[in-house]
Chain A
Amino acid sequence: MGPLIPQGIITGGWDFVIALLLGIAFGFILEASGFSSSRNITGAFYGYNFVVLRVFLTAVLVAMIGLLYFDYFGWIDMDLLYILPTYLTPMIIGAIIMGFGFLIGGFCPGTSYTGIAIGKLDAMVFTGGLFIGIFVFSEAFPLFSDFYYSDNMGNVTITEVLGLSAEVFTMIMVVVGLAAFWVTWLIEKRVRKNINPYKFE
């Protein structure tokens, strides 16, 4: 059945509608998780708040398991999913730069917009810097375009590179992820005095 657009079930014109709906949902989740506060975000680096790690790992695990079940039920054709090409070294460098930006600015691009949405000044300054950065990067792109496209591994997935089956890799991620949840919870409990756990209604 899915993915809907490549299979021709709905036309490509729905791209923007879907993007809008997903964007609203994504922003809502970011804000609801407390990501519009840079204290929550940088807390992961200082070791007192791991909500970023937990929220994103939850998203990863749910998406991983969900996709595999969808594939099993024939609801999605995994061959049609777009796989971002891997440029190994440039991506590692990019991740380090991103991490520093995260740590210094207190936002990542997405969360800075949720910050703006609730009127945070630091988020507005961050987003201004973001656009300056994009402009400088775009103008200077020819200087490092060779490096940008180097070390191309093609559209590979981690299971192909490591030769693991998707089930095994998912299991490893689930175990690692769940362990991370519990460990970070314990760390937070030790470090923070005023912690109050989320109440399930």
Chain B
Amino acid sequence: MNKNYIYLTVLMLVLAAGLFVLPERDNSKQTNPEDLMWSIVQPTRFISTDVVAKMIIERDPTLELIDVRSEDEYSEFSLEKAINIPLDSLTSENYQNYLGIKGLKAIFYSNDDIKADQAWVIAKRLGFDNIYVMKGGLNCWMKTIIEPTQPNETASSEEFELYSFRKGASIYFTGANMENDSEGTKAVINVQRKKKTSVVEGGC
């Protein structure tokens, strides 16, 4: 009997036994703290209420609004086409299918931007990209979009332009569009779940 067979047998056993002594290793795709810190200070992770309003009005297909408040608050009032992922359910796998969809911008919002910001950090740590926070949350939404304040007479023309946009948006969101749709019906988003790899069925 060739000695090499014995060596190979021992090698296989050693390799298999080696699996037991390997320390536990976490291979999950979490963002490391340095990257997280870097992306946390980027102002681009915030999206203003004006931009969100514009995206809704233009029916931007890349918009995915995520309401991170509780279910009750969500059913009381939510933005058009927003889906509800309560902050404490964000880590459950059922909801994570809604994040990280290619080509979609997931924008978190809550009453202010504290909860939404927390959701953003959690989602970032879970390794998702293309996530944003709506600056100022729903409070800011009410102040800027629903009841915009008229700028002073001496204000710049940009401010007046912004004001007229907000005024139009306010009409869009509060009534002008009422007879068509949206009131009372929550949009159902067809989530395209990430497909597993293509099937390779092997024989021998």
Chain A interface (Cβ < 8 Å from any Cβ of B):
3, 5-6, 12, 15, 56, 61, 65, 68-69, 71-72, 74, 77, 80-82, 84, 108-111, 166-167, 170-171, 174-175, 177-178, 181-182, 185, 197-200
Majority DSSP secondary structure for residues of B touching A? loop
With both beta carbons as reference points, the residue of chain B lying nearest to A171 in the complex is identified as: B16
A72 near B25 with CB under 8 A, answer: yes
Q: Which residues from chain B contact A82 at a C-beta distance below 8 Å? A: 196-200
A72 near B22 with CB under 8 A, answer: yes
Please give the distance in Å from A189's CB to the nearest CB on chain B.
9
B20 near A80 with CB under 8 A, answer: no
A3 near B197 with CB under 8 A, answer: yes
Among candidates B22, B197, B204, residue contacting A5 with C-beta atoms closer than 8 Å: B197
Q: Which residues from chain A contact B29 at a C-beta distance below 8 Å? A: 77
With both beta carbons as reference points, the residue of chain A lying nearest to B29 in the complex is identified as: A77
Among candidates A77, A109, A170, A185, residue contacting B16 with C-beta atoms closer than 8 Å: A170
Among candidates A12, A109, A185, residue contacting B198 with C-beta atoms closer than 8 Å: A12
Given A170-B19, A200-B2, also A61-B12 (CB < 8 A): yes
Complex formed: what's the CA distance from A56 to B13 in Å?
17
Q: Per-residue 0/1 for B1-33: is the Cβ within 8 Å of any A Cβ (1 yes, 0 no)?
A: 110110001001101110110100101010000
Complex formed: what's the CA distance from A171 to B14 in Å?
10
What are 27 A-B pairs with beta-carbon distances under 8 A?
A5-B198, A6-B197, A15-B198, A56-B204, A61-B12, A69-B19, A72-B19, A72-B25, A72-B27, A74-B27, A77-B29, A81-B197, A82-B197, A82-B200, A84-B201, A109-B203, A111-B204, A166-B19, A170-B19, A171-B17, A171-B19, A174-B13, A174-B16, A177-B12, A198-B2, A200-B2, A200-B4
Given A109-B204, A171-B19, also A71-B27 (CB < 8 A): yes
B16 near A65 with CB under 8 A, answer: yes
Please give the distance in Å from A56's CB to the nearest CB on chain B.
7
Q: Which residues from chain B contact A177 at a C-beta distance below 8 Å? A: 12
Complex formed: what's the CA distance from A119 to B148 in Å?
83
Given A72-B25, A171-B16, also A80-B201 (CB < 8 A): no
Complex formed: what's the CA distance from A72 to B196 in Å?
22
Complex formed: what's the CA distance from A69 to B15 in Å?
9
Q: Per-residue 0/1 for B165-177: is the Cβ within 8 Å of any A Cβ (1 yes, 0 no)?
A: 0000000000000
Residue picked from B1, B17, B19, B29, most chain A C-beta under 10 Å:
B19
Complex formed: what's the CA distance from A108 to B203 in Å?
8
With both beta carbons as reference points, the residue of chain A lying nearest to B13 in the complex is identified as: A174
Complex formed: what's the CA distance from A166 to B19 in Å?
9
Residue picked from B2, B20, B27, B204, most chain A C-beta under 10 Å:
B204
Q: Which residues from chain A contact B200 at a C-beta distance below 8 Å? A: 82
Q: Which residues from chain A contact B2 at a C-beta distance below 8 Å? A: 197-200
Given A81-B197, A174-B13, also A65-B19 (CB < 8 A): yes
Complex formed: what's the CA distance from A170 to B77 in Å?
54
Q: Which residues from chain A contact B196 at a C-beta distance below 8 Å? A: 6, 80, 82
Q: Which residues from chain B contact A171 at a C-beta distance below 8 Å? A: 16-17, 19-20
B204 near A181 with CB under 8 A, answer: no
Complex formed: what's the CA distance from A85 to B41 in Å?
45
